[in-house]
Amino acid sequence: MPGLKIDADKCIGCGKCVRICPVNNLAVENKKVRETGKDCIRCGHCVSSCPKGALQFADEDDAFKKGWFDGRLVSDSDLNEILSSMGMGTDPDIWIKVLQGAELDEYIESSMDILKKSSSGIPLVKEWEEWNERHDFLEPNPVLWEGKQVLFIFSDSPEHAFSASNKMVVKGFGMGVRGFHSNILMAAYHEDPGRLESFFPGFKGKMYMAFVIGHGRRLIEPLFKPLEKFKGLFR
Ligand code: SF4
Ligand code: SF4
């Protein structure tokens, strides 16, 4: 399979693409990125996230661009298509909401406040606080990476929630909508569901998923170690 075309003159070795690659196919050496192997799944995240435009597929064509997250909001009509494929409105056991904009900012602030008061000691909370204090919104919110919308699934049934989550991935992937499951937002919900449920008037059941629409994200072990105690919540 053709690999990436790397423009070494443009690459500044920032490592953003390395952190974003879901299969560890990239590494920075001597301040330049290189591919480590042949594991590329052609998700396009590195290409779309490189601030210098140093990456492209060796056989780049427009078909691949469709799936690349470039910071845009998913339109209401695309979201509605995804939500209906997940059973929203037809499966009585599924209730879904997407938060974005000021409402999402407020939700994240409440979630971080909950985790700050808990004993979880999650490093990302500190990272978020520092980012929030700097008030530099040119830097992406570390909780969302570069995502701007979060899709939440509520249900009374873990099976229905799981099925809706799978349908979202299948439908969304085909439409170019990708992202990552946010353990940190789930952790905040499990600490204090009552406080966060006020963001979801009319919700049914309990929250089973918080999915950040945007780049896929590789789990970084040290970041998630403090979440050991939350293991099992999603079984
Ligand atoms: S994101 Fe772009 S500039 Fe940064 S290391 Fe990767 S290729 Fe180089
Ligand atoms: S296209 Fe995706 S899998 Fe391939 S190197 Fe880039 S981020 Fe990694």
Q: How far is the CA of 7 from the centre of ligand 2 (A)?
A: 15
Domain 60-235 in CATH 2.40.50.180: no
For residue 209, the surrounding DSSP H or E stretch is strand 206-213
pTM of the entire structure? 0.69
As annotated, the residues of the chain forming the CATH 3.30.70.20 domain(s) are 1-59
User: Which residue's C-alpha comes closest to atom 3 of ligand 2?
Assistant: 40
Within 79-217, strands assigned E span: 94-100, 149-155, 179-181, 206-213
In the numeric block, which tokens belong to residue 80? 């509605």
CB neighbour list of residue 116: distance below 8 Å, 6 or more residues apart = 125, 129
- Ligand 1 neighbourhood includes 20 CB (under 6 angstroms): no
For residue 103, the surrounding DSSP H or E stretch is helix 101-117
- Is the pLDDT assigned to residue 2 strictly greater than 80? no
What pLDDT shows up at residue 227? 41
Q: How far is the CA of 24 from the centre of ligand 1 (A)?
A: 14
Closest listed residue to residue 152, CA positions, set 196, 110, 210:
210
Phi then psi for residue 193, to 5 deg, are: -60, -35
User: Which residue's C-alpha comes closest to atom 4 of ligand 2?
Assistant: 40
What pLDDT shows up at residue 219? 37
In the numeric block, which tokens belong to residue 117? 């008061």
- The CATH architecture annotation of domain 1-59 reads 2-Layer Sandwich (3.30)
User: Which residue's C-alpha comes closest to atom 8 of ligand 1?
Assistant: 11
**pLDDT tens digit sequence for 177-219:** 878 788 899 999 999 999 999 999 999 999 999 998 876 544 3
Cα dihedral 7/11/13/15 (nearest 10)? -80
If one compares 2 and 223, the residue with the highest pLDDT of the two is: 2
What pLDDT shows up at residue 217? 44
Strand, helix or coil for residue 153: strand
